Amino acid sequence: MWLRVEGFKDLVRRWWTGYTFSGSFSHILACKLKALKQDLKTWNREVLGNVFSNKEAALSQIGYWDAKESDLGLSPEEAEARRRAVEDFSKWASMEEISWRQKSQQLWLKEGDKNSRFFHKMANAQRRRNYLAAIKVNGRRLTREEVVKEEVVISFHRVLSEIDEWKPSIIGLPFSVLDREEARALENPFSE
């Protein structure tokens, strides 16, 4: 969806080349990706905003100009403003459709398929898979979101702050051991 915005690629290129980090290549890449993610979030919120509400605003603007046209007719400037509103609506509707397709995680769906039941099921399936409706703690079933979050944090805190008793240990596991002759052979210089 962002690729439809004019100048987007240049903006990302400018951000990417502007980041300076030091360290290993993998560290630099991870830091640049993290910084880019934050810049993209901010840019998306400030430039695009809510695509659905932008589309609705453009549609209401078209409705306004249509009502005015039916009552009094439109001046050339007003007709131009109505044409721009129609273009805006078309742009936002297209972006909303692309957004739904991306949310569905099904690249083979065509942009015109957004209203099918299957499309909406696929778009919301990931959210349902990642949703935790209830948990059972000490025999109690917890369903309220705040209580579930609190219990998950408490449980992880308890498990991660325990002493090494719960963690796997290598004590008592049999390992193959090299004898002195084999160990000495490892330090010999390479021969042809």
Q: What pTM was computed for the model?
A: 0.45
Q: Using CA atoms, how far apart are residues 155 and 162, in angstroms rounded to an integer?
A: 11
Helix (H) or strand (E) holding 135: strand 135-137
How many Å from the N-terminal Cα to the C-terminal Cα in the chain?
61
Contact 86, 62 (CB under 8 A): yes
pLDDT number for residue 26: 85
Contact 125, 117 (CB under 8 A): no
Q: What is the mean pLDDT of each run of 10 residues along the chain (192 residues)?
A: 85 90 86 92 86 84 82 82 86 81 59 62 71 81 85 81 61 82 89 84
Q: Which two tokens stand for residue 189?
A: 């210089």
What phi and psi values does residue 116 have, to the nearest 5 degrees?
A: -75, 150
- The three-state secondary structure class of 31 is helix
